[in-house]
Amino acid sequence: MAQLIKEGEMIIQQKPISRREMCAMLAGGTTALAMMSSSATAVEDKARGGKVLMPVGDATEVVDTLYPFFRIAEDGFNVVVAGPEARRYHMVLHEVPPNSVLPWDITEERPGYHIKAEVAFRDVDPAQYAGMFVSGGRAPEYLRYDKDLMRITRHFFEANKPVAVVCHGIEIVSAAGVIRGRKVTTVAKCALDAEQGGARYVDEPTVVDGNLVTTRTWHDYASCMREFMKMLNTYAGAK
């Protein structure tokens, strides 16, 4: 079940959203759409695979976030979006402009859709979750200072639960001190963040090291999501 906010009205989708329906909603534009994760209802309890946590904040990258949000739910998991507060957050689009008059050395940031965090980090009991997906964008720059998010992140590694990290999300797991001695990948401009966290950075599309799946950007999601869903389904099936 997903909730949508449109022009001040709340609409509750009572059935799973297909990819075609999702594309139609996204075509409505930023003023028409605010994606929300599942509410704490009976639908949540019926999720076959359990719950997967997705931490976000302002300037979370929109494609980094929305594709796994729907892909994970497609396999019967309830994706729970969490943030510093339980509120609506601004997602953004990061892209190196292909036709800019002046060249860009780094991505330009433009407004994207919005996503609703249904729970604040301080209220998250990570023991209730089967896995975690750490999105990218600029949000991890400030989310990594949240002590509750650090507590949450460490739990998933201490319990050896599946974790996926894309792009700038590496800043969160690096700050949590959980990638020391690991082999990881990330977007090239975050290689230093990985190395400062004690990891060995490699420029590969997707890297699996123990319970951790890392990927460079959403462009590598074909391999990343295949590996993460395999790991997540195996973990859920073994419970």
The residues carrying an active-site annotation are 168
Indicate the pairing of strand 129-134 with strand 163-166: parallel
Indicate the pairing of strand 119-120 with strand 88-95: unpaired
The edge-to-edge listing of strands for the beta sheet with 119-120 is: 119-120, 77-83, 50-55, 129-134, 163-166, 212-215, 206-209
Are the C-beta atoms of residues 172 and 153 closer than 8 Å to each other?
A: yes
Q: Which helix H or strand E contains 34, and what residues bound it?
A: strand 34-36
* Tokens found for residue 85: 């507060």
Cα separation, 216 vs 66, in Å, equals 16
Q: Which residues contact 149 (CB under 8 A, 6 or more apart)?
A: 55, 121, 143, 172, 176
Phi-psi region of 189 (alpha: psi -120 to 50; beta: other; left: phi over 0): alpha
Give exposure, 32-45, as e/b (b: 16+ Cβ within 10 Å): ebbbbbbbeeeebe
Are the C-beta atoms of residues 61 and 69 closer than 8 Å to each other?
A: no
Check residue 127 and report its DSSP letter.
G
